[in-house]
Amino acid sequence: MPQTFTLIRLDKPEKVVNFNTESAPVYKTSKCYLSLIVPAYNEERRIEAMLVEHIQYFERKKVTENFKYEVIVVDDGSRDHTISVVLDIAKKLKVPIKILKCGVNGGKGSAVRLGMLIARGDYLLFADADNATKIQGYERVEKELLKISKAGLGIAVGSRNDLNKDMQIKRSKLRDFLNWGFTTGVRILCWTRIRDTQCGFKMFTKNAAQLLFRAQHLERWAFDVELIYLAGRNRIPIVEVPVDWEEMAGSKLNVLKDSILMARDILLVRILYLLGIWKTTDVSIPGTHVVGDA
């Protein structure tokens, strides 16, 4: 369903624009090398550490490599002070941050999608607000993405599986078991060799992001599965890259309820695309307009 959201540009505070999910701008020109998209729902306690660490990392790259980037935080209908915390961080670090303020909670998949559609980078990275995946893995992910990209299309997926014994993965046995069960189901139903579809650290070329996120249907936890399935159907190169990851306190995931919903969603992905109800090549959004420089 269409949702309204507000774009707050901290580099141009007088410019506050209201959109909805059927009229989100898709920018035709790139303004920077990388767009960092951070979905956030009631993250007032966790997002500060994540943003500070990521921004400081990219600021160092900016100085040494003439690296240009933007930060987009998508507030998914938070009821706490997430936006205030982000505003304070922007002022403290003196770095412009774009905030998408959604009117209602649409789900993580919906939030990531909105951020991806207005991003202006040549490459787009989404990272979870809990800082579970360490930003030091960025260069490894970027390197692998550049290596496999073809015709401007490619995806690098951060992985918490033991692809590299040097990587540090810290999570509970329950989460390990649930991850194994979910991954097994995804690999069987969606014909993918990706071992970890749910890690919140994925990097896309701009063309791949535009293709996949404009075709996306799932709006909650299992949206990653649909994106990877679509990438496979559209023959978009995809690589799994090991990252350092640590389970963080404060997760919004309800283990029982959301596990059932995610199982339902991966079945929907397989069945609805198989029946042709969802189209792998349906990349249009009614009412979407292209903006050159806003």
CA distance 60 to 201: 20
**Domain annotation covers residue 291:** no
**Domain annotation covers residue 67:** yes
Residue 184 is predicted with a pLDDT of 66
**Domain annotation covers residue 96:** yes
- Highest average pLDDT, of 10-14, 34-38, 188-192, 288-292, comes from 34-38
CA distance 86 to 38: 11
SS3 130: coil
Residue 207 is predicted with a pLDDT of 95
- Residue 113 clears pLDDT 60, i.e. is over it: yes
Mean predicted lDDT score pLDDT of the chain: 82
Q: Is 165 exposed, middle or buried (0-12, 13-18, 19+ CB in 10 A)?
A: exposed
- Residue 263 clears pLDDT 70, i.e. is over it: yes
**Domain annotation covers residue 294:** no
Contact indicator for 289, 26 with CB cutoff of 8 Å: yes
CA distance 199 to 157: 8
CA distance 29 to 224: 26
Residue 4 is predicted with a pLDDT of 54
**Domain annotation covers residue 268:** yes
- Residue 101 clears pLDDT 50, i.e. is over it: yes
Query: Which is more confidently placed, 12 or 131?
Result: 131
- Overall number of domains in the chain: 1
Residue 57 is predicted with a pLDDT of 97
Contact indicator for 168, 242 with CB cutoff of 8 Å: no
Sort strands 238-242 and 155-159 into parallel, antiparallel or unpaired: parallel
Q: Which residue stretches of the chain are H helix?
A: 47-65, 82-93, 108-118, 138-148, 173-190, 206-213, 223-233, 255-274
- Closest of 33, 242, 251 to residue 133, by C-alpha: 242
Query: Which is more confidently placed, 25 or 240?
Result: 240
pLDDT in tens, 49-89: 999 999 999 999 998 888 999 999 999 999 999 999 999 99
Query: Which is more confidently placed, 223 or 279?
Result: 223
- Residue 3 clears pLDDT 70, i.e. is over it: no
The string over 102-121, giving b where at least 16 C-beta atoms fall within 10 Å of a residue's C-beta and e elsewhere, is beebbbbbbbbbbbbbbbbb
pLDDT band at 267 (very low <50, low <70, confident <90, very high): confident
- Closest of 215, 21, 251, 280 to residue 131, by C-alpha: 251
Number of Cβ atoms within 10 Å of the Cβ of 93? 15
**Domain annotation covers residue 158:** yes
Residue-range definition of the domain harbouring residue 92? 4-277
pLDDT band at 130 (very low <50, low <70, confident <90, very high): very high
pLDDT in tens, 201-243: 999 999 999 999 999 999 987 899 999 989 988 999 999 999 9
Q: Which CATH number belongs to the domain containing residue 171 in this structure?
A: 3.90.550.10
